[in-house]
Amino acid sequence: MRALSRDLAAVLAALGDRAQAGRALGPLSTYRVGGPAACFVEANDEADLLALRRALAGRPVPVLVVGKGSNLLVADAGFDGVAVHLGGGWAGIDIGPGPRLRAGAAAGLPVVARRSVDAGLTGFEWAVGVPGSVGGAVAMNAGGHGSDMAACLARYAWLDLASDAGGEDEAGRLALSYRNSALRSSQVVLWAELALAPGDRENGRAALAEIVRWRREHQPGGSNAGSVFTNPPGDSAGRLVDAAGLAGLRVGSASVSTKHANFIQADDGGSADDVYELMGRVRLAVAERFGVTLVPEVRLVGFDTAGSDTAGSDTAGSGRLDVAGSEMGER
C-alpha cells in the first residue's frame, strides 16, 4: 500500500473505531489472494453506512463494496480506498406475504435458494450453486441454469455513499442486462425483494440437488471466482479458451482449470497478480486465434491498466484488462 492520501487519512480519522487501516481483502474473497484495503469498514446497520457517507462527503475517495467476494480479484498491492463489507445485520430473510421473499444484501444466495424451497416457493433454485450474496447478485445480475436476478427481482433498497440519494425502487430502475446493472460503485444494495411462485417442496429440493450435483461434476473447487469471462453472444467463453489449447496454462501460482477452461485457479498462498497476468494472456490468445475479445466477468480492483479505459479496449498485443479502482466488486 502507498502512503495514505490526505482525503483517505481524513476519512479514517472521521470514522474512528468504525474503520480499520490495512485490512487484508484476500480472506474475504473466494480467490483467497490479494492485498489490503487502505480503509475497511464493517457495516452492520444503516447507522454505520450513514457514518461512512458523512466521512466521505466532499472527498474523492474510491469505494469498493465487498460481499462474499466470489467475483472479486484485488491486486497484491491492495486497494487505495474504502472497502465496505456488509455484516450479519444485513443477512435476514423474510417470507411473504404471498409468494414473495425479502432478503438482506449480505444473505448468501444458496441459503436464500434453500429457504425459498422450504417455504414452498419456486423460481430461485438456480441460485443454490452461486456462492455470492444477494447484494452482489443484484449489482451484477447474477444468474445460472437458465435464469438470473432479472427474472425474479421485484424491488430493492439502496443507499448512495457519494450523495444523499437512496431509497426503495422497482427492479426496472436497474436496467438489468447480462451480468450488468445501472448501479454505480458508490451505491450499496441493502435488500432485495423477489417475486417467486408457489411450488412443490419435494420438486424444489430435487432441483436443488441436481444443480449442486451438476456443478460438482462440471466445475472445479478450490480457490477461484467462478467464470472469469462473460460468454460472447452465441458462444461460450470456456469453449473458446479450451479450443485455443489453454486448459492447464500456468503463470506462477495461477492456472487455467482443466475441468472448466473459463475458471482460473489460484494456488494456496498465491498471487493475485499472477491470476491477472494469466487472464490477460488467455484473452490475448483467444483474440489472436478466434478474433473474439473476451470481457472479464470477475471484478478487478487495484491493478495497473496502463491506460486501458474499458473492458475490451486494450490495444492489440497488450493483453491488458479493464479494471477499476472503485467497483461494486462482489458476487
Cα distances (Å, whole numbers) of residue 71 to 30, 131, 163: 8, 9, 26
How many other C-beta atoms lie within 10 A of the C-beta of residue 2? 9
**Residue 243, Cα to own-chain centre: how many angstroms?**
27
Looking at the chain, how many residues does it have?
Answer: 331
Q: Provide the terminal-to-terminal Cα distance of the chain, rounded to the nearest Å.
A: 25
Out of 193, 297, 327, 330, pick the active-site residue. 297
Closest-CA residue to 65 (of 155, 139, 121, 156): 139
Burial zone of 164 (CB within 10 Å; 0-12 exposed, 13-18 middle, 19+ buried): exposed
Q: Is the peptide bond before 36 cis (omega within 30 degrees of 0)?
A: no
Does the annotation mark 297 as catalytic? yes
**Strand residue runs (E) in the chain:** 19-24, 36-43, 63-66, 72-74, 79-86, 93-95, 100-104, 121-122, 143-144, 147-148, 153-160, 166-170, 187-195, 197-198, 250-251, 254-256, 264-266, 299-301
Strand partners, 144: 147
| Residue at 239: amino acid letter | R
In the set 179, 283, 299, 331, the catalytic residue is: 179
Question: 78: closest CA among 50, 39, 46?
Answer: 39
- Single-letter residue type at 296: P
The residue annotated as part of the active site, out of 29, 181, 185, 227, is 227
Q: In this structure, what C-alpha cell is assigned to residue 231?
A: 460468454
Residues identified as active-site: 179, 227, 297
